[in-house]
Structure 1
Amino acid sequence: MEGRPGFKRLLRALASTSGVLLIIVITALSIQALQQQAGADHNDSSGEAALLPVSTLALQPESGFTTTARLTGRLHPAREVALAFEPAGRVVDIEVALGDAVSEGQILARLDTRRLLARRAEIQAQLDETAIALELARLEEDRQQSLRESDLNTRQALDRSRTERRRMEAMLSGLHAGLAGVDADIDDSALRAPFAGRITEKHIELGAMLAGSTPAFQLMDHRRLEALIGVPASKAAALVQAGETVTLNSRGQDFTGTVRSLIPEIDASRQTATLIVDVDNGNGLIPGQLVEWKTETLIEEPGYWVPTTALASGERGLWSLLVAEPDSNGIAIVRRASVEYLHGNGSHVFVRGTVNSGALVITEGAHRIVPGQRVQLLRQATP
């Protein structure tokens, strides 16, 4: 009987705890119901707010695209020649050094001419002697001609005197030719520059004994340059015409040139033809430098320019675009269009395929969208 009041107190405590728990459960269920109702009301009021917004580009048809080709070549001197002494002799004077700039007609080196001068004096003496003998032969011929007219000598005597005169004339002509040859050798013993330029090679030394036609110097016209550029054989004739002005570049320096000609021969290994361009202003340029020519070619092929970001890989070597087909409320359905990649310039690509002019191409975020998805259209990008 003494334990019954404690038991009653326990029953009252349990009843109080159960009431609190019941109140908590009822409150939580009420809050959840209110949140669900609020979410339903929000969805009913916002409509399509959950649709993904996309930017699009309206396709504009193009008749073709321009490609830029970078063709390379090398600078060469327009004139370069190996200079040599024609006669043999000993080098007694060298007036230029390797790398010197020379003017047209400037003497570069000389050979010893003492033997040539002695030979000239010898021939001159023979020539003088022969000239005297020729004068006597002419006088004798005139005398025999007078005697023959008076029937005081024979025809044979006249013929002999005439033949002697002719022999002396032939001998005199030969001596004149020999003298001219010696004079030419004396003149050629002084090696002169045939044009203004720069000495790029030197093969002789002072005191050296040279045989005839031994190379002495290499002379280059450094002021006049030409560019030899390899161009595709299939497009060579269409790229440029003789007389046309082109812009070239070498080591970051732009300069102009005039097309001289196209060598009518194909390099079998590279399938290129050689274009010759006369450099209009070669200041600061050096033979042997690489030269680049950027040329643009119009490819007539209908298609569309689209941003690179709009392109996705497709099947069988093709690419794909996502096209948005809108309704009157600005909501669009996405479909896939297959296209062929024709040309690219880094930020844009030129394509053709199953798209029409004016189609709205999704320009960004194509990886987040699948065909059949509904999207919200935003601004249109510029081509």
Structure 2
Amino acid sequence: MQSVQEKGSKSPIAVNVLSLTKVENTLKSVTYFGTLEPNRSRTLGFTVSGKIKTIAKRGQKAGPDELLVALEGSDFEEQKKSLQTRLSQAQSRQQFQQLQQQLSVLDEQIQTRRLLAPFDCVVDDVLAFENSLVRAQSPVLRILDTTKPRIKINLPRRVSERIQADLEVYFVIDDELVIGNLVERSQTEQAGSVFCWFALKQDLANTSYKFGQIVEARFNIRTGKSGFWVPLSALDRSGEGVWSLLLVETSNGASIVSRRLVTIGQLTDKQALIDGNVSQGALAVADGIHRVVPGQVVEPRLVKNESEAADRKPAK
């Protein structure tokens, strides 16, 4: 029986081939969506009753020890001025110490009528208004910590179990790519899903964001599958839906094309994880498979198998 090569050109056609390398427990890139949450929140209120003089607005940002709310305290301020004047005119050490003690007590009373930011924060909700009366222990403001925000994602249990603390997860926040890691996993399961929280490695000082906004998360998980990564251009599909791969094997010193039926265990945009009667180091035709047929003598040209790096690339 004559080979295709004998019927055609005497010079073997050059084909690009790649060497197949088997991979175990492959990676799969997945995408989920979560929400941006503050690391902590706090509701603020006074320990005394009074009338609100000034109060921060919703969305206002404040640093540590910046004033957020103040109660009317003109009487206290007048008393303080009077004490300071008397203190400067004290005639004896005993009188000076007594006035200084009174001033210290008065300062404490003034401070109880001022609410300062305990940390870098943004005002999330205003629960009182200027000139309104508030009672002691009544909530006045709700603030959110603007440092170290977290991402909350509801993940299938089987996916969450494959995420380790050192796995880098890529989040897209207002077109910015931010890296984070798993820091907490809920202990309760609902309908096969669990909540997971991820801490961000970078701060978002230069990123426009709002708590509660939807965030896209991308990461790689292990699938438990094994096989050979090949580019989609190396695969052929028959009318019956059967996939095959063209190999180049050496016979009597000649490089001859043969066909192998394969199964696909994992599929991405550019490559597929295949398995079948294929061995480690086999040479597969990388592209242009329509140009050759089984039994044809070819001139193989080894090219780099970019698909082999699929398990090492971050899911950006």
Report the TM-score range of the alignment, normalised by the length of the smaller protein.
Answer: 0.5 to 0.7
Q: Which runs of 5+ in 1 are unaligned?
A: 1-45, 115-183
TM-score (norm 1): 0.55
* Alignment check: 8 A CA contact 1:247 1:254 kept: no
Q: Matches of 2:287 and 2:141 in 1, distance apart?
A: 67
Q: Which of 261, 268, 289 is equivalent to 2:184?
A: 261
Q: Deviations over 1:140-178 (max 9, x none)?
A: xxxxxxxxxxxxxxxxxxxxxxxxxxxxxxxxxxxxxxx
Q: How does 1:172-211 map to 2 (within 5 A)?
A: 188-210=112-134
More helix by share: 1
Residues 337/75 of structure 1: CA separation in 2 closer, same or farther (3 Å cut): same
Q: Deviations over 1:225-247 (max 9, x none)?
A: 22223443113243113xx4845
Name the SS for the 1:104 alignment partner. Answer: coil
Q: Tell me the residue number matched to 2:299.
A: 378
- AA in 1 matched with 2:21: P
- AA in 1 matched with 2:124: T
Q: Tell me the residue number matched to 1:103.
A: 64
Q: Tell me the residue number matched to 1:94.
A: 54
**Offset at 1:76?**
1.5
Residues 246/53 of structure 1: CA separation in 2 closer, same or farther (3 Å cut): closer
Q: Which runs of 5+ in 2 are unaligned?
A: 76-107, 306-316
Name the SS for the 1:207 alignment partner. Answer: coil
* Alignment check: 8 A CA contact 1:257 1:278 kept: yes
- AA in 1 matched with 2:33: T
Name the SS for the 1:238 alignment partner. Answer: coil
Q: Matches of 1:277 and 1:200 in 2, distance apart?
A: 21
Q: How does 1:274-293 map to 2 (within 5 A)?
A: 274-277=196-199, 279-285=201-207, 286-288=209-211, 289-293=213-217
Q: Tell me the residue number matched to 1:303.
A: 227
Q: Matches of 1:264 and 1:376 in 2, distance apart?
A: 61
Q: Tell me the residue number matched to 1:338.
A: 261
TM-score (norm 2): 0.65
Q: Alignment length, in residue pairs?
A: 263
Residues 287/68 of structure 1: CA separation in 2 closer, same or farther (3 Å cut): same
**Offset at 1:277?**
1.9
Residues 206/61 of structure 1: CA separation in 2 closer, same or farther (3 Å cut): closer
Q: Matches of 1:96 and 1:273 in 2, distance apart?
A: 33
Q: Matches of 2:299 and 2:142 in 1, distance apart?
A: 72
Name the SS for the 1:55 alignment partner. Answer: strand
Residues 297/206 of structure 1: CA separation in 2 closer, same or farther (3 Å cut): closer
Name the SS for the 1:239 alignment partner. Answer: coil
* Alignment check: 8 A CA contact 2:159 2:221 kept: no
Residues 246/96 of structure 1: CA separation in 2 closer, same or farther (3 Å cut): same
Q: Does 1:312 align with 2:236?
A: yes
Q: Tell me the residue number matched to 2:193.
A: 271
Q: Does 1:82 align with 2:5?
A: no
Q: Matches of 2:253 and 2:157 in 1, distance apart?
A: 57
**Offset at 1:278?**
5.3
Residues 303/291 of structure 1: CA separation in 2 closer, same or farther (3 Å cut): same
- AA in 2 matched with 1:260: V
- AA in 2 matched with 1:53: I
Q: Deviations over 1:249-280 (max 9, x none)?
A: 32343444454322222342x72431342555
How many percent of aligned residue pairs carry the same amino acid? 18
Q: Matches of 1:275 and 1:327 in 2, distance apart?
A: 57
Q: Does 1:350 align with 2:268?
A: no
* Alignment check: 8 A CA contact 1:197 1:220 kept: yes
Q: Tell me the residue number matched to 1:53.
A: 13
Q: Tell me the residue number matched to 1:240.
A: 164
* Alignment check: 8 A CA contact 2:64 2:120 kept: yes
Q: Does 1:63 align with 2:28?
A: no
Name the SS for the 2:162 alignment partner. Answer: helix
